[in-house]
Amino acid sequence: MSIVSGARAGIAAAAFAALVALAGCGGSANDALPLIRANVKVKTVSMGGVCDTVPVRITPKELRGEANKYANNRMMVTEVPMTGPTDENGAPMCNGNAETLPLAPGVWEFSAPLRSGTYKCERDIQADGDLLVDFVDGYDGCSGVPPEPVEEMPVMEESAEGGDGEEPAEGEAPAQE
């Protein structure tokens, strides 16, 4: 056997080993599962006319079910770039929006340090669930500005004693002024 044929045999063996290794790199059973990303919105008061990036910490609390192999299952931080400030009802406000890295399904805690304090909430992250996390400075939680309550019309109660414009009861004389 010559040196050339020995080298060819070595190359052939290396190629075969590489082929076997690549064959094992196929997809896994959970590749077909969706990649779940939450959309994080932040509205906070500007400090001195400057809108700084807001780091939103995302921590798993209770993961459930199967996740795509690319989904994260550990604490992470999503940086939300802010724009503005814009004048909103006389207040200089900064606004930002960012998408998280893929999240494993389950309950996650979102925490955002805003100008008036740190706001936290927990969200059940599911592929078909509510994926909007909306922090607004001054409002607890992460569901945005709560809707304004609808004012109900007061109910007029009838007086048992009879008032102006009512007929007198039987046997009573009409009221005179």
- The span from the CA of 145 to the CA of 50, in Å, is 23
Per-residue pLDDT at 32: 82
Q: How many CA atoms lie within 13 A of 16 on its CB side?
A: 6
Neighbours of 23 (CB within 10 A): 8
Domains and CATH numbers, the chain: 28-136 (2.60.40.10)
Question: What tens-digit pLDDT sequence spans the chain (177 residues)?
Answer: 555 556 566 666 665 655 544 444 555 567 788 999 999 999 999 988 899 999 999 999 999 989 999 999 999 999 999 999 999 888 899 999 999 999 999 999 999 999 999 999 999 999 999 999 999 999 999 988 877 665 555 555 554 555 555 555 566 565 555
Q: Are 112 and 118 in contact (CB under 8 A)?
A: yes
Per-residue pLDDT at 176: 59
Per-residue pLDDT at 101: 97
Question: Residues near 132 by Cβ (< 8 Å), separated by ≥ 6?
Answer: 38, 39, 41
Q: How many CA atoms lie within 13 A of 119 on its CB side?
A: 22
pTM score of the predicted model = 0.67
Per-residue pLDDT at 166: 56
Per-residue pLDDT at 5: 58
Per-residue pLDDT at 165: 53
Per-residue pLDDT at 152: 57
